[in-house]
Amino acid sequence: MVASEFFLVGLLAAFAVVAAVPMIIIPVLFAPKRPSPIKSQTFEAGQVPKGESKVHLMMQYYAFLIMFVVFDVVVMFMFAWGTAYPSLGLQSAFVIIPFLAVIFIPMWYALNLAGRKELW
């Protein structure tokens, strides 16, 4: 039985290699190789850059990234807690309530960053 499980893992690894190798080889074969000033020019949202090129990254979606990570962690732990709740009983609420209190601090911070407090 163990051998069949390792076979499936090996099959998955072989598929990963078979799927990844063409993704690496095809761009090497078909990518343009002659640099030009136009190709080397910095890209700024499809527009011709004016002045010095900027390296500064826009952080306007940073707050939404934090909210996604917070909700992702909350959903993962709430699902695990919800499936184990019938066997754990009411005392498990003493674990999940402080967890939720701590995890919503970054959520509050992200909402303040996004300026979207009034929507919640």
pLDDT digits (tens, 9 = 90+) for 73-102: 888 888 888 888 788 777 777 877 888 888
Contacts 24+ apart (CB under 8 A), 59-64: 62/113, 63/110, 63/111, 63/113, 63/114, 63/116, 64/110, 64/114
| Residue that wins the pLDDT comparison between 117 and 68 | 68
Count of domains forming the chain: 1
| Residue 80 belongs to domain spanning | 2-119
Instruction: Return mean pLDDT, the chain.
Output: 77
Are 77 and 99 a contacting pair, CB within 8 Å?
yes
Read off the pLDDT of residues 43-77 as tens digits, 9 standing for 90 and up: 666 666 666 655 555 566 777 777 788 788 888 88
CA–centroid distance for 98 within its chain: 25
> What is the spatial distance between Cα 47 and Cα 119, in angstroms, rounded to a whole number?
34
pLDDT band at 14; cut points 50, 70, 90: very high
**Residue 44, φ and ψ in degrees, nearest 5:** -130, 85
Say yes or no to pLDDT of 2 above 70. no
| Secondary structure class of 60 (helix, strand, coil) | coil
**Residue 3, φ and ψ in degrees, nearest 5:** -60, -35
